[in-house]
Amino acid sequence: MAVYTEVDVETAAALLRTLDAGTLTAMEGCAGGIENTNYFVHSDKGDWVLTVFERLGFEQLPFYLGLMQHLARKGLPVPEPRTDASGNFLHSIAGKPASLVNLLPGESIDRPMLAHCSLLGVTLAHMHTAALDFPAQQPNLRGLDWWATTVPIVQPHVGEALAQRLAEELDFQQRFHAAASTQSLPRGPVHADLFRDNALFDGAPDSPRLSGVFDFYFAGVDHHVYDLAVCVNDWCVDLDTGRLEPEHAQALLRAYHVHRPMSPAELRALPGMRRAAALRFWLSRLADWYLPREAALLKPKDPTHFERVLVDCVDNPWHPEL
Ligand SMILES: Nc1ncnc2c1ncn2[C@@H]1O[C@H](COP(=O)(O)OP(=O)(O)OP(=O)(O)O)[C@@H](O)[C@H]1O
Ligand SMILES: N[C@@H](CCO)C(=O)O
């Protein structure tokens, strides 16, 4: 149950009033999610998600919430932070940062079909294009520097063979990211964590619609092809074996390419970026596994899955046909 900070009815009702979001009719704590306190809040003006941020500070949130506002106002299915009369979207509850966004319709999909991958490709292309003129800058805080800091932290816990694999992959990534061919790849604000549990679909089963993309709290400026690699590694990988499902990946990339054509350099970089994305989530899961945060209620996710994904990326580099 992801309610770390109890929010009482009076506090929620007062926030709704401040944000001209109607009169509160009901609220319930949200069981999903592990990072933040989330409540579903209902009023005579609509349905909302009230989030109290447990780890992120007031200084990082303007980038994430501003990017969500930017994308939502351009018509993307992204929650829009509700603003007060002065235009502020960052509020405070119990001394912690808080936000109120509109509740998006739809459900997450456990096992994406080709149609879901295509819809994701279309939306991701639109998100990348729409974000290009977002003025704020924040690097991907889970990028190369973080990998280099985290590898030696987790190495003592994983045994010699895996410690060696981590060192070799970090070395590969440092060379790959230093190459001029990588540095010149197109960049912009990207989601960087758009797993299947961060998207919603509605519509009939045979004609789904992508109705929501949320959880922008790892977003940052990075290469577009890195963001694609993160998606391919989750939406288009068998969760039992860690192996790529090439038809799913092809569907995602073809749909993306129609709306934001990928350059030959981006296509060439995809195998290296898939390795980068696999390393990033292997490392964060290893860190959560061996060095759990104090008082964290979260059940750590299985790191070995991304070890398998990385092995598959290295052993079977995949090149899309567009
Ligand atoms: N704007 C929204 N519209 C609809 N549902 C939402 C929205 N925001 C969050 N949710 C729902 O609430 C759940 C928890 O949200 P979220 O995933 O952002 O939690 P978290 O704790 O912040 O992050 P994490 O996924 O890292 O645990 C989601 O699984 C989703 O079902
Ligand atoms: N998507 C991440 C967790 C949240 O960032 C993972 O599956 O490891």
Percentage of residues of the chain with pLDDT beyond 90: 89
The closest ligand to the CA of 52 turns out to be 1
Residue 108 pLDDT > 50, yes or no? yes
**Residue 321 confidence (pLDDT):** 87
Per-position DSSP letters for 174-235, written without gaps between them: HHHHHSHHHHTS-EEEE-S---GGGEEEEEETTEEEEEEE---TT-EEEEHHHHHHHHHHHH
Q: Which two tokens stand for residue 266?
A: 């981006």
Identify the band that residue 2 occupies on the pLDDT scale cut at 50, 70 and 90.
low
Which ligand is nearest to the Cα of residue 50, counting in written order? 1
Q: Are 73 and 130 in contact (CB under 8 A)?
A: no
**CATH 3.90.1200.10 domain span(s) along the chain:** 114-315
Q: Is 63 in the pocket of ligand 2 (CB under 6 A)?
A: no
User: What CA–CA distance (Å, rounded) separates 43 from 61?
Assistant: 25
Q: Which amino acid is at 72?
A: A
- Please report the pLDDT score of residue 293 as a whole number: 67
- Least Cα distance to 201 among 102, 260, 80, 120 occurs for 120
Q: What is the pLDDT of residues 145-163, one digit of tens each?
A: 999 999 999 999 999 999 9
Q: 165-179, pLDDT tens digit by residue?
A: 999 999 999 999 999
| Ligand closest to the CA atom of residue 28 | 1
Interatomic CA distance for residues 133 and 70, integer angstroms: 9
**What are the Cα distances from residue 275, in Å, to 48, 91, 270?**
37, 38, 9
Model-level pTM? 0.96
Superfamily of domain 9-102: Phosphorylase Kinase; domain 1 (3.30.200.20)
Residue ranges of the chain that CATH labels 3.30.200.20: 9-102
Query: Ligand 1: which of 50, 214, 281 to mutate, judged by most atoms within 8 Å of the beta carbon?
Result: 214
**Which ligand 2 atom is at minimum distance from the Cα of 198?**
1
pLDDT-based confidence at residue 205 (cuts at 50, 70, 90): confident
CA-nearest residue, atom 19 of ligand 1: 33
For the segment 234-269, what is each residue's pLDDT rounded down to a tens digit?
Answer: 999 999 999 999 999 999 999 999 999 999 999 999
301 lines ligand 2 (CB under 6 A): yes
pLDDT tens per residue across span 215-228: 999 999 999 999 99
**Whether the CB of 285 sits within 6 Å of ligand 2:** yes
Pocket of ligand 1 (CB under 6 A): 2, 30, 32-36, 38, 49, 79, 101, 103-104, 212, 214-215
- What digits encode the pLDDT tens for the residues 59-79? 999 999 999 999 999 999 999
What is the CATH architecture of 114-315?
Alpha-Beta Complex (3.90)
Residue 197 CA, closest ligand 2 atom number: 1
pLDDT per residue as tens digits for the range 303-313 = 999 999 999 99
- Residue 295: what pLDDT? 45
8-state DSSP, 11 = H
260, HSE (Cβ side, Cα atoms, 13 Å): 23
